[in-house]
Amino acid sequence: MPSIPASAEAAAPARALLELTRLTVSFATPRGTVTAARELSLTLAAGECLGVVGESGAGKSQTFLAILGLLAANGTVSGSARFQGRELVGLSPRALDRIRGAGIGMVFQDPMTSLTPHLTVGAQLLEVIARHTGLARAAAYRRALELLERVQLTDAARRMQQYPHELSGGMLQRAMIAIALSCGPQLLIADEPTTALDVTVQAQILALLADLKRERAMAMVLITHDFGAVAGVADRVAVMRNGGVVEMGTATQVLMAPREAYTRELLAATQPVARSAAAAAPGAAALSLEGVAVDFAVRRGWLRRRAHLSALSDVSLELAAGECLGVVGESGGGKSTLARAVLALRRPARGRVVWMSRDLTHLPPVEMRALRGELQMIFQDPLGSLDPRMTVGEIVAEPLAVHRPQLGRTARAAAVAAQLARVELGPALSDRYPHELSGGECQRVGIARAMILEPRLLVCDEPVSALDGPTQRQIVALLERLRRETGMSLILVSHNLSLVQRLCDRVLVLYLGRMMELAPAAALGSTPRHPYTRELLAAVPVTDPRLQPARLRLMRPGEPPSPLEPPSGCVYRTRCPHALEVCASRVPVWEEAGGDGRVACHRWRDIPGGPI
């Protein structure tokens, strides 16, 4: 594998496939004109992959939607965009239609909403093939099947008969890629193709894209906010900010030796905040979970029979006062359910949650409500967790109204102001409404609300996954500071393994609601014992373009099976490269693995260790 992609040397290609010259995209809004792209010029050679990186609102997506004529009705484009020498700006919809699909394929961010829910995946793929190639039905079908197999959609023939809601996000994104590829485009525009996906699936999709690009000599524009994605696939990188290109160069140059301060700032944000030295030696167990299991009742099939979905089974662990526990895994792994079970927001089917020697599972509601001042939570969706009809001041004050009703109006206002200052928000924000704030500000308000009662345990459910890179970093730093100042315990649920590793004392790995591994954070990174942990670690992107392509090539396709029908024995065995017969017949024991770690795997002793 070459350390520098071949086409990177060709900085100025002789004949550009796509050439943007002084492209300006603007939108007329009631509050005046908003410019998404300002006099943007760039070129893309045939077979080259350009990574376009920037924060949300930088104009990345709108620029490329504009050249495909996919702008919203209030958008206007000026300047020039030439594809194979042909001007796209001002082209009639009919002519653009021929280029879209056949010349330029597009993959969107959210595969769930990009496919029509009432048509099967196959029908939607066949429609595109029929429209752009005019193949006969049987030939089109063969072509479709071939494509779906090429994008490694398992069980392709059956998937064609299924509707979008029956497929997982990763499968749908594969189908979307197949649709985009169906007419052999010379250029593929992928707009945040992995943002809505799990970290493992992200890596799989990126590996697929890198593969396809190589195999078909297809040019690609990869729009993303994630430098890790760019490092694995892109030859050249353009960093965008406020509608302009800040820096452009080969992937190696931009990622390894950035010239611009803004690029450095973005890159720094991908490095998780290092945790400060442990504030205090963790004390006695504050929280303990004893064999906690959570079931969801679901109705299935034509007769709507009741079935139990086991979201969490047999989770036991202890958390010391002042300790920080990370919980990682893919979506559907039971992370959020665990967070809610700890706070008694979900009633466990079996087992007990004990907080400071009080059994939360059987506490009367009144006592539980009183106790909630000690146990607080921060949510994944910063805006959604704030009541849209309350001001920031009222939101932050609400816990006081519940738990300290005796507090006077001025005392309450003072407490709110103090909390806002603590989370680094100005006092002026107190009269604003959530929809007037940015995502990061919303999350700070959520943190202020949780901290105003000085909780002793803070559960954070994916606190930064909805935020931009630099904002993520700030919020993480804030959480880390608060933990240091207050000495509270912290449970950090995240699919971002590197974040959890840096911030937490110990990390719990969950898969299909079962515990796979629990280990001190440092040990988990250096000597992972469970094959699933290894897979998660391998999927974490590094921003080094000399290493990342090789890492991507090692990704194996695979997604968690349905939690309604978990595999027998070890639930991970269907994806595990080391699985033996014993893995299908017996559930592995949750055993001590030395160095304060525990693991549930039949084969952890046999698997070669060492860092990934």
Partner 1 sequence: MDEAAHGLWRAAARRLRGDRIACVALAVLTALALVALLAPAASPWAYDSLDWQHLAQPPGLSAAHWFGTDRLGRDLFVRTLHGVRLSLLISLLASALSVGIGLAWGALAGFAGGRTDEWMMRFVDVLYSLPYLFIVIILSTLVGRGSIGVLLLAIGAIGWLTTARIVHGQTLALKERGFVEAARATGLSSAAILLRHIVPNLAGTVVVYATLTVPQMILFESFLSFLGLGVQEPQASLGNLINAGAQEMESAPWMLLAPAAFLVLLLVCLNLIGDGLRDALDPRER
Q: Which parts of this chain interact with partner 1 (CB under 8 A)? A: 343, 345, 365, 369-373, 375-377, 379-381, 384-391, 394, 398-399, 402-403, 433, 435, 446, 449
* Residue 365 CB contacts under 8 Å (≥ 6 apart), including other chains: none
135 vs 356, beta carbon nearer partner 1:
356
Phi, psi at 553, each rounded to 5°: -65, -20
Min dist. Cβ of residue 381 to partner 1 (A): 5
Smaller CB distance to partner 1: residue 155 or 387? Answer: 387
Q: Are strands 244-250 and 285-300 parallel, antiparallel or unpaired?
A: unpaired
Q: Are 144 and 160 in contact (CB under 8 A)?
A: yes
In the complex, least distance from residue 375 CB atom to partner 1, rounded to whole angstroms: 8
Cα(54)–Cα(76) distance, rounded to whole angstroms? 22
Q: Which is nearer to partner 1, 59 or 446 (CB)?
A: 446
Other Cβ atoms closer than 10 A to 306: 9
Residue 269 in contact with residue 225, Cβ under 8 Å?
no
DSSP per residue over 321-365, as a string? TT-EEEEE--TTSSHHHHHHHHTTSS--SEEEEEETTEEGGG--H
**Distance separating alpha carbons of residues 3 and 418, to the nearest angstrom:** 52
Concatenating the DSSP letter of every residue in 118-150 gives: TS-HHHHHHHHHHHHH---HHHHHHHHHHHHHH
Nearer to partner 1, 90 or 384 (CB): 384
Residue closer to partner 1, measured from CB, 149 or 398: 398
Nearer to partner 1, 336 or 474 (CB): 336
HSE-up (13 A, CA, CB side) for residue 502: 15
Minimum Å gap between C-beta 529 and partner 1 is 34
Of the pair 365, 608, the CB lying nearest partner 1 is at 365
Least distance CB 390 / partner 1 (angstroms): 4
Nearer to partner 1, 21 or 391 (CB): 391
As measured in angstroms, the least distance from the Cβ of 346 to partner 1 is 10
Quick one: the chain helix, strand, coil %, rounded to 5? 40, 25, 35
55, two tokens: 């924060």
Nearest to 519 by CA among 606, 589, 596, 572: 596
Q: Please, which residue, 30 or 608, has the CB nearer to partner 1?
A: 30
Least distance in angstroms from the C-beta of 416 to partner 1 = 14
Q: How far is the CB of 224 from partner 1 (least distance, A)?
A: 26
CB of 191 to partner 1, least distance (A): 22
Strand partners, 286: none
Note the helical H segments in 151-185: 156-160, 169-181
Closest approach, Cβ 383 to partner 1, in A, equals 8
